């Protein structure tokens, strides 16, 4: 029997760039991925997970993600997340989730002020999440980054709380490419159903593209989405 | 009514832009202690009711013009000519 393909909604904002890559990668990893336009007010029926892709929604005007956070579809995404639904934000999607208050902290301009576009090594801090279950403890993943606003910051209290509650899921290994506090590359919310990361797993699902490591992250999400779908039936 | 909203990075929050400008000014020979870069937003609202305008400006500043996690804002309502 073929395992069921869970429905994953990939939102296209005005200025999203990586929606099609995410769609392709999720499809290759046995999800039934579907693009959802930002002006929609509801997620497709039976959606088991939502991905907010990378890009430069609204030209990064004001702050990365600040305007996209008010797109009509975001009310449905926020409601879905608050009900425990799985939401993954990649790069600009991460910024949108922070602006929407679904994830802690904020992403500011890279310390170097330069746009960075290259592969980085990520250390996996936790494997007991819906987004990292296919990773090995302590595993290092090679995944590309490409951003100008990836510098994760917040108050000292917030940082201490994130560390204490183990909400940091990925850190840059070695060289910190953007000045993020505590080398944070990805964080999860307290309830473990919303995660954001700056690196692009959807660009690293095939050795032909330099690394297959991103597939571990997306396949973990597809597994978790499938489990939830089955639990609902 | 016209208003100006001043948005600034909060104390203690890194400001890479300000830091780069500080470095550049120092290299140009200025005695610089610090530079912090914010944003000026000029807004014109439909209402001519002062209280209503302030309430609207407060809400838009908090929800969109600034990110209160890292930025503070000041609303300056300009007197009608």
Average pLDDT in chain A:
95
In a domain, A26, yes or no: yes
CATH code, domain carrying A180: 3.40.50.880
CATH architecture of B2-77: 2-Layer Sandwich (3.30)
In a domain, A2, yes or no: no
Model pLDDT, residue A232: 62
Q: pLDDT at residue B81 above 60?
A: no
The yes-or-no answer on residue A91 being catalytic is: yes
In a domain, A95, yes or no: yes
Contacts of B67 in chain A (CB under 8 A): 63, 66, 99, 106
CB of A70 less than 8 A from some CB of B: yes
Domain count, chain A: 1
Sheet containing B71-77: give its strands across. Answer: B39-44, B2-9, B71-77
What residue numbers bound the domain in which A149 lies?
Answer: 7-232
Residue (of A221, A231, A193) closest to A79 by Cα position: A193
> What's the angle, vertex CA A130, arms to CA A204 and CA A70, rounded to 5?
80
d(CA A149, CA A40): 27
| pTM listed for this prediction | 0.93
Contacts of A78 in chain B (CB under 8 A): none
ipTM: 0.83
What is the tens place of the pLDDT at every residue in A122-149?
A: 999 999 999 999 999 999 999 999 999 9
What is the tens place of the pLDDT at every residue in A70-94?
A: 999 999 999 999 999 999 999 999 9
Model pLDDT, residue A167: 98
Mean local confidence (pLDDT), A206-229: 94
In a domain, A1, yes or no: no
Of A67, A105, A153, the CB nearest to B14: A153
In a domain, A175, yes or no: yes
Greatest alpha-carbon pair distance for chain A in Å reads: 52
Q: Structure tokens of A79?
A: 């409601």
Average pLDDT in chain B:
94
């Amino acid at each position: 029997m073929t395992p069921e393909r869970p429905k994953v909604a990939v939102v296209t904002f005005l200025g999203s760039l990586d929606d099609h890559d995410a769609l392709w990668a999720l499809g290759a990893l046995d999800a039934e991925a579907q693009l959802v336009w930002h002006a929609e007010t509801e997620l497709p029926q039976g959606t088991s997970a939502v991905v907010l892709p990378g890009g430069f929604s609204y030209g990064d005007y004001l702050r990365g993600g600040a305007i996209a956070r008010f797109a009509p579809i975001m009310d449905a995404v926020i409601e879905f997340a608050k009900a425990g639904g799985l939401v993954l934000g990649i790069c600009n999607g991460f910024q949108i989730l922070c602006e929407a208050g679904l994830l802690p902290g904020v992403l500011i301009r890279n310390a170097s002020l330069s746009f960075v576009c290259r592969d980085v090594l990520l250390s996996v801090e936790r494997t007991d999440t819906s987004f990292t279950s296919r990773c090995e403890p302590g595993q290092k993943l090679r995944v590309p980054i490409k951003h100008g606003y990836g510098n994760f910051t917040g108050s000292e209290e917030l940082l201490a709380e994130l560390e204490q509650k183990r909400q940091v899921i990925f850190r840059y290994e070695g060289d910190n490419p953007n000045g993020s506090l505590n080398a944070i590359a990805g964080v999860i919310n307290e309830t473990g159903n919303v995660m954001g990361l700056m690196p692009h797993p959807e660009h690293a699902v095939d050795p032909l593209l330099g690394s297959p490591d991103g597939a571990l992250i997306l396949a973990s999400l597809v597994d978790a989405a499938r489990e939830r779908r089955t639990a609902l039936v | 009514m016209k208003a100006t909203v001043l948005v600034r990075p909060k104390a203690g929050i890194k400001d890479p832009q300000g830091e780069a400008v500080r470095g550049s000014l120092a290299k140009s020979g200025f005695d610089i202690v610090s530079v912090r870069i914010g944003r000026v937003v000029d807004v014109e609202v439909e209402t001519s009711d002062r209280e209503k305008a302030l309430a609207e400006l407060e809400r838009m500043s908090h929800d969109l013009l600034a990110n209160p996690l890292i930025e503070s804002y000041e609303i300056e309502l300009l007197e009608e000519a």
